[in-house]
Amino acid sequence: MFALFLALGLAASRNKVAGIPLVRIPAGTFVMGSAAGEPGRGEDEVPHRVTIRRDFWLGATEVTQAQWIRIMGTNPSHFGGCAECPVENVTWLDVRGFIEKLNVSQGGGFRLPTEAEWEYACRTGERPDAGRIDDAHANFDARYPVRGGRAGRYRGHPVPVASFPPDRRGIYDMHGNVWEWCSDGYAPYPAGDAVDPVGPDSAPKKVIRGGSWYFDAASCRCAARYSHDPKDRGFSLGFRVARDER
């Protein structure tokens, strides 16, 4: 929590709604996916050029238990009793309900980030990726680094948001702590370049990103893609919100 008030104050000076600090992410183009030689890469991480055409806002932190309780009135977390820890044990459908209520109370625009927006924010924040990150920078199972990485400790539970240094924009925990639901259905990447790509609604599983306290370093890479049924819940499944430019 050492940097919480400094960087969250910065985010709040930009936009803060319902106690959720937001950071503006400018439009741009990047290479989504991973190079063939990246340690820990998956076969579904085919590199391709992606353009995000519009600025958007992204939560500076994962949604906390206190923020969830403020909107929903209950706390589903397996690791409850920690107001500033990320809410977890939430399904994609639970999160949709949270966002619907948040939009009613706050005038609309909130949503989950797309998978492409999530990776764009992760990459352009200029934090070390999983090959160089260690347990001083993120909460993951550092006993299992990627090839060439340094082994470290396993904390065994989520920690309060903003416990580690932020990226250059003031965003925390894009690597580790809890997995983050995205809006997309999981599917292979499109062939060639893409503009504002979104996975199909008809896909049976939804994308999760970022790794967690329970998973290894390879899962924390910006390019790493995992998925779950939207009805699944677990002690390392959480989220952060996005909001359309207003």
Q: Which pLDDT does position 133 carry in this prediction?
A: 79
As averages over each run of 10 residues, the pLDDT of the chain (246 residues) reads: 39 60 96 93 96 98 97 97 98 98 94 98 76 86 91 97 94 97 97 96 97 96 96 98 90
* pLDDT at residue 66 in the model: 97
**pLDDT of 159-173, one tens digit each?**
999 999 999 999 999
Please write down the HEC assignment for all residues of the chain.
CCCHHHHHHHHHHHCEECCEEEEEECCEEEEECCCCCCCCCCCCCCCEEEEECCCEEEECCCCEHHHHHHHHCCCCCCCCCCCCCECCCCCHHHHHHHHHHHHHHHCCCEECCCHHHHHHHHHHCCCCCCCCCCCCCCECCCCCCCCCCCCCCCCCCCCCCCCCCCCCCCCCCCCECCEEEEEEECCCCCCCCEECCCCCCCCCCEEEECCCCCCCHHHHCCCCCEEECCCCCCCCEECCCEEECC
Domains and CATH numbers, the chain: 4-244 (3.90.1580.10)
- Tell me the pTM: 0.92
| Predicted local distance difference test score (pLDDT) of residue 131 | 57
- What local confidence, expressed as pLDDT, does residue 245 receive? 83
